[in-house]
Amino acid sequence: MPPAKDIEPSNSESPRRDRILAVDTGGTKTAAWLVESIDADSHRLLGEARTSAGNPLSVGFDQATQAIHEAITIAGKNAQLLDQRAARAVLSIAGAANPDMANRFIAWARSIRLADRVAVVSDVLPILAAGTPDCCGVALISGTGSSAFARAADGHAKRCGGWGYLLGDEGSGYAIGRAALQHALRALEEGTPRLGLAEAVLSTLAVNSVTELTRAIYGNADARRAIAALAPLVSAAADHGDPDALGIIDGAAVDLAQLAARTAQAVGLANAGFPLAISGGVLMNSNRLQDQLRAELAKLNLECAINIVREPLAGCVRLADPKYADTLVTWHSSI
């Protein structure tokens, strides 16, 4: 079972050798846990924190490391320990599937002596760890972006998607928000009544024309995030039966199901039932998207036991287990 169910708060002092620092950072937030390892399957939460976005591909490396450093500093203070240093640190970072990017974070962790040993993993791996038995199955993320990762029992693994908003991210918050903007722009061009989803988009952005809408997006310093921020609006409209919103959400479900199927096929899981761990703000917060994802997976003849992972940090903690060393996790000394 994922370790999240066995993590409980504590203010007690613990030996440094038993401490694990878990960090998860992406397009909207950075979160950190400092936990004490009781045994392989249970841990005690000592301190936690949340700070700003830390995806280096969108905010840059310097801002990403600043967000991570702030999170771990606050978590350490909240733990109220005389010695806040951890024995092991697992950093889950969007963009860390790129070896060069991962190496930059490892070098940074060494420079600040983050922990005795440090591992940098992609943002999808902790989802697999938290939501599947023995880290075997498929993990699917739909947040600001989208990606998937699969691992078979023989260790064969494959990552699909995660190409970024310019080349991919189908089924993501960005894709959903962009579709909503396109719908609003068509409504403005056609002069159709401002109703439903189109009206919601225009009201949210406080615009009344094509020029104003395009200026609001292209003039935004973080247009990708601003577009993805419209996804909850689309989900809410779909929940109220808006046909245009339903079409967008259902289209996202098709894209995500195809991404999961492609990833499962790559490691030989598509012909048998497999656990599917899903996460990301878009998937977690839209019942319609979850329901349609199940329906689309069924159309593809995929048998999936779906588990929603609400806290990726639980997967980071699980990956600190020595049994995953040199298979899923590579440790680097920072001493």
pLDDT attached to residue 10: 47
Alpha helices (H) in 191-286, listed in sequence order: 196-205, 210-218, 223-228, 231-239, 243-266, 281-284
Strands of 137-142's sheet, edge to edge? 157-161, 146-151, 137-142, 274-279, 304-308
pLDDT attached to residue 94: 80
45 sits in which H/E element? strand 42-51
3-state secondary structure of 32: strand
Residue 95 sits at the vertex; the CA angle it makes with 226 and 205, to the nearest 5 degrees, is 0
- Decide whether 3-123+312-333 matches 130-168+249-308 in CATH topology: yes
Q: Higher-confidence residue: 17 or 153?
A: 153
The C-alpha atoms of residue 205 and residue 186 are separated, in whole angstroms, by 16
pLDDT attached to residue 83: 72
| Mean pLDDT taken over the chain | 89
CATH of domain 3-123+312-333: 3.30.420.40
| pTM, to two decimals | 0.85
3-state secondary structure of 289: helix
**pLDDT above 50 (res 178):** yes
Domain spans of the chain?
A: 3-123+312-333, 130-168+249-308, 175-229
pLDDT attached to residue 1: 36
**pLDDT above 70 (res 7):** no
- Asked which of 32-36, 115-119, 174-178, 324-328 is least confident by mean pLDDT, the reply is 324-328
With 0-12 CB in 10 A as exposed, 13-18 as middle and 19+ as buried, what is 322?
exposed
* DSSP per-residue letters across 84-114: --EEEEEEEETTTTSHHHHHHHHHHHHHTT-
Count how many residues are written for the chain: 335
Superfamily of domain 130-168+249-308: ATPase, nucleotide binding domain (3.30.420.40)
